Structure 1
Amino acid sequence: MRSPLLDTPGAVAAEAPDETIAGHYGDPYAEQRALASGQALVDRSNREVVRISGADRLRWLNDLSSQKIDTLAPGTPAQTLFLDAQGRVEHHLTLVDDGEAVWAHVEPGTSAELIAFLEKMRFMLRVEVADVTPGYAVVTVAAPGETSGVAAAPPDGAIVIGGDLLVPRERLAGVASDLGLRPAGIWAYEALRIEAHMPRLGFETDHKTIPHELGWIGTAVHLQKGCYRGQETVARVHNLGHPPRRLVFLHLDGSVDVLPPHGAPVTLGVSTPAEAEPEAAVEGAAEPGQIGFVGSSARHYELGPIALAVVKRTVPVDIDLLAGGVAATQEVIVPPDAGRNVAIDPALRRRIR
């Protein structure tokens, strides 16, 4: 569904899966600064919107997903994950309950699969699920992870979800001027998202991603709630093991003209003989080879070229990397020792062995 904001003078379409919205409006760095200072609005109307109504909606979603939703107060934004039976991430939702229904937005092209699963799980409960994407568009009025930019008086009919607004789609073309904000492209949002260490489904995830790897524990996963599909994996990793991979923030070599694309291989950087020993410590990398992949990359108005990547947990945190052939240094997001939070008596551990 092509956004009318692409008709704004200077608008340049983004790349898939964001090709129906603007990547920028002619000045990407100024747009980043404006978004960071709460003076811009980002059109994210390619995201899909799901509405879940009915008296049992909160308890039902609580039983199906990773977040504790049954006690969610109206107006409180939340994130939750839907996992498969092995604990791998299938869907990431940003949501709010308005007292009558739960409103959630998800990645482009994912709502049909989500709704199909939810419909199978309705049984005799009082819930109704609807795709309301044709009627509502997502716009963001705060930097990723922030809520201070939300308008005090959102447009009529809008739903507030933290720093996001679900606005009636017929009002999308004029919403920036209605709020007194300049339009900023998705490039600006993505650069600030990477800076904020926030993973995105389909970028920092693949078919085997589990929540611990991306730091979704705490933000999208509640560790003390009851059972849900995939919960056994979450509990086992949190209490007894470590995730096999970890999310890292990368500072990229600013002298290179290109950014590593999504999916580009991450490999070990060129080491001097004195620094070669850490390479042998990398699990599964006895010889040079891929130890991760690039999720997202961007040019930040202050930090320069940056990226998020997923690498093997045992990659040393102080070793230089190559991201799609571009030299990179790491900043830890998910620590190598994530998980294994249960202290076991050494005597008991010996008996277990």
Structure 2
Amino acid sequence: MSALFEALSARQGAVVEDAAIVHFGDPMREQRNLVTGSAVTLVSDRRVIEVAGEDRLTWLDSITSQALTQLRPGESTELLILDPQGRVEHAAGVLEDGSSAWLIADAPDAEGLVSWLQRMVFRSRATVSIRADLDLLGFFSGAAAEAVVTSAAAAPNGVPLVWADPWPAVQAGGHQYSQVSPHPAAEYQWRLAIVEADAAASAVSDLEVAGLIAADALRVAAWRPRWTSEVDERSLPHESDWIRTAVHLNKGCYRGQETVSKVHNLGHPPRRLAALHLDGSDDVLPAIGSAVFAGDSEVGRITSAARHFEDGPIALAILSRRAPMGDLVVHADGVEIAAAQQAIVPADAGATADVPRLTRLSRRPEGQDPRKA
């Protein structure tokens, strides 16, 4: 365990599960402190990956969904790695410092992501490594925590390593399917600082602290997808509205691009992410994977669930595109939980999905010469 983990886990009320500090006794208060910018979270469920070498950005650009060649020192974005059918295999935040590109990946995905990247280096001047010596501190910008944590962030090349989550706004080359305005992510000013444990432990000693439960509740409320929860073996980026920040629709060729373009321009995603407001009368929070029903038909599953300090019990669910709008029911631990549905990705998502198709030649009136049509 790092010095930072030891220092924070020694705080009063700290509850540790699976080598992570999940809360400090009051997740609701911890959420409020995060939102006001007075608290920090040790984000031990993610890993830091360094991509060094002079070809790092052009190389990453050529194999991922994001346009990266013009990324300047201090700028943040995120990327996806897709399979040939356009399904999500890996996801990572990206921060450039002028000498290295720093990737932030969910811990269960990190080793697989690094292994895949290393196999793809070939003759490119790039190296990829997990930096187990570095920790991550999460916070919301705009108040005391930002100044303290930014000053404690590692800066091996003179640029403080603070990743700004791009989720609050549609990024260049992206597209938003959600029709809700304002989007609930508009105020989601989430930051992750890459820190050296010893220096950070002393720097944050006077700040409020929050656990991962509090941080995740704010993510769910912002409809922010994560690899750990919203991605399975079938996931397309369209289904969770991830094209708004992680896919550049106008960049050059990359693996999976054909499917991304086809679904975006011609078809509807087969599934769609929805936000659920849960009935809290039974005090049961559904587990990831809990089934979602419309009447007697199972139409999807829960991907994330949380108790929010203002909204109460909430969840994200991946549903069949044909799942009806309106109230649903979640089956969890033998309890049926009523759920009010709010569409994140509408059933007719697709930028030009309803453009009329050209008449096929085989359907022209009998005897008509197609060259004269």
CA shift, 1:229, in A, is 0.9
Matches within 5 A, 1:13-162: 13-14=16-17, 19-132=18-131, 134-142=132-140, 150-151=146-147, 153-155=150-152, 157-158=154-155, 159-162=161-164
Q: State the alpha-carbon separation in 1 of the partners of residues 354 and 299 from structure 2.
A: 30
Q: State the alpha-carbon separation in 2 of the partners of residues 84 and 148 from structure 1.
A: 42
Q: Deviations over 1:130-161 (max 9, x none)?
A: 111x2111111117xx9996327421525111
Unaligned runs of 5+ in 1: 270-287
Check conservation: 1:250, 1:330, Cα contact below 8 A.
Answer: yes
Partner residue in 2 for 1:285: none
CA shift, 1:54, in A, is 0.8
**Change in 2 beyond 3 A, CA 1:106/1:148:** farther
CA shift, 1:171, in A, is 3.3
Give the secondary-structure state (helix, strand or coil) at the position aligned to 2:204.
Answer: helix
Partner residue in 1 for 2:338: 327
Give the secondary-structure state (helix, strand or coil) at the position aligned to 2:107.
Answer: coil
Partner residue in 2 for 1:10: 13
Question: How many residues are paired up?
Answer: 325
Q: Deviations over 1:235-282 (max 9, x none)?
A: 11001111111111100001011100011111115xxxxxxxxxxxxx
Aligned partner (choices 271, 276, 299) of residue 307 of structure 2: 299
Check conservation: 2:83, 2:89, Cα contact below 8 A.
Answer: yes
Check conservation: 2:328, 2:341, Cα contact below 8 A.
Answer: yes
Partner residue in 1 for 2:259: 233
TM-score, structure 1 length as denominator? Answer: 0.86
Q: State the alpha-carbon separation in 1 of the partners of residues 322 and 143 from structure 2.
A: 35
Aligned partner (choices 321, 327, 336) of residue 347 of structure 2: 336
Q: State the alpha-carbon separation in 2 of the partners of residues 323 and 231 from structure 1.
A: 36
Partner residue in 1 for 2:171: none
Give the secondary-structure state (helix, strand or coil) at the position aligned to 1:67.
Answer: coil
Q: State the alpha-carbon separation in 1 of the partners of residues 29 and 356 from structure 2.
A: 56
CA shift, 1:316, in A, is 1.9
User: Identity percentage over the alignment?
Assistant: 42
Q: State the alpha-carbon separation in 2 of the partners of residues 349 and 38 from structure 1.
A: 57
CA shift, 1:60, in A, is 0.4
Partner residue in 2 for 1:312: 320
Unaligned runs of 5+ in 2: 156-160, 165-190, 364-373
TM-score, structure 2 length as denominator? Answer: 0.82
Partner residue in 1 for 2:193: 165
AA of the residue aligned to 1:326: I
Q: Deviations over 1:35-90 (max 9, x none)?
A: 01111101102311100011111010001111111111211110110111111111
AA of the residue aligned to 2:154: G
Give the secondary-structure state (helix, strand or coil) at the position aligned to 1:219.
Answer: helix
Partner residue in 2 for 1:262: 288
Check conservation: 1:251, 1:330, Cα contact below 8 A.
Answer: yes
Check conservation: 2:327, 2:339, Cα contact below 8 A.
Answer: no
CA shift, 1:315, in A, is 1.3
AA of the residue aligned to 2:199: R
